[in-house]
Amino acid sequence: MSKAVIGFIIILGAGITIAGILNMNHYSDDPESSINRNKNNRLKVFSPFDINPSLVDSSMRDNRSEHVINDFSFLNQLGDTITKASTSGKITVVDFFFTTCGGICPKMTTQLQRVHNEFISDPNFLILSHTVNPKTDSVSVMYKYAERFEANHDKWWFLTGSKESLYIMARKSYLLVPDKADPNFDHGGESDFIHTENFALVDPDGRIRGMYDGTNASEVSELMRDVYDLKKEYEF
């Protein structure tokens, strides 16, 4: 085989590889798009039994039945009261963080910015970022943080409220944080309770349909594909 042919094959292979990588970052509502999964793909509905036991309250760990997010009432970065009704009928992505966190939080929020930009024009999609340090993260502080990440204030809500209410939602609804009394976790520092790097994907009926490492770009890409699967399921 001539050097010219070998060189062409190498260039062609590199081009295919690069195109594949670029395509991994593309998502589409187009049913003919090659990146989309089978149209009948259906995401799992998570029960507490399916989640890492350290993130599930002991009273719920054996629950294999359908788990639905409880009602809540928090303030967003505009000072508006946000309740479960505010998210009814929408696909939501949920995380817990705090604005002065210098560790994983900026990485998580940067990954959420990717998700935000992907679905910024979708009327059936929201992101809910809850603080774990409400004594510091006031409405005005959350507003500045939202501006830092160029959040659309109608699509990405940064929520604050009472420490206990936030903890109960994280622990018993979204199943995202360990027991605040668990000695195996460091609950010190600025946050009022420990938070994890996890994102939860919640469907329009308030059920958890996915869990992802919010610091891992590949898992967040998977999250975005899962959002498109939910959009198909709910015919959005």
Same-domain pairing of 54 and 22: no
User: Does position 10 have pLDDT exceeding 80, yes or no?
Assistant: no
CA distances from 50 to 41, 92, 179 (A): 19, 20, 17
Same-domain pairing of 146 and 226: yes
In 3D space, the residue among 99, 70, 118, 66 whose CA is nearest the CA of residue 223 turns out to be 118
Q: Any idea what the CATH number is for the domain that residue 136 is in?
A: 3.40.30.10
Same-domain pairing of 14 and 125: no
Each residue's pLDDT tens digit, 172-184: 999 887 766 555 5
202 class by beta-carbon count within 10 Å (0-12 exposed, 13-18 middle, 19+ buried): buried
Same-domain pairing of 71 and 9: no
- Domain count across the chain: 2
Specify the pTM: 0.80
Each residue's pLDDT tens digit, 21-34: 333 333 455 555 54
Cβ proximity of 34 and 23 under 8 Å: yes
pLDDT of residue 84: 97
For residue 207, the 8-state DSSP code is B
Same-domain pairing of 83 and 11: no
Same-domain pairing of 114 and 13: no
For the chain, the distance separating the N- and C-terminal CA atoms, rounded to the nearest angstrom, is: 53
Same-domain pairing of 32 and 52: no
More confident residue, 148 or 188: 148
Angle subtended at Cα 60 by Cα 55 and Cα 64, rounded to the nearest 5 degrees:
105
Q: Which domain holds residue 31?
A: 1-36
Same-domain pairing of 31 and 52: no
Same-domain pairing of 88 and 106: yes
Same-domain pairing of 126 and 69: yes
User: Does position 42 have pLDDT exceeding 90, yes or no?
Assistant: no
pLDDT of residue 39: 59
Residue 122's pLDDT band, with cuts at 50, 70 and 90, is very high
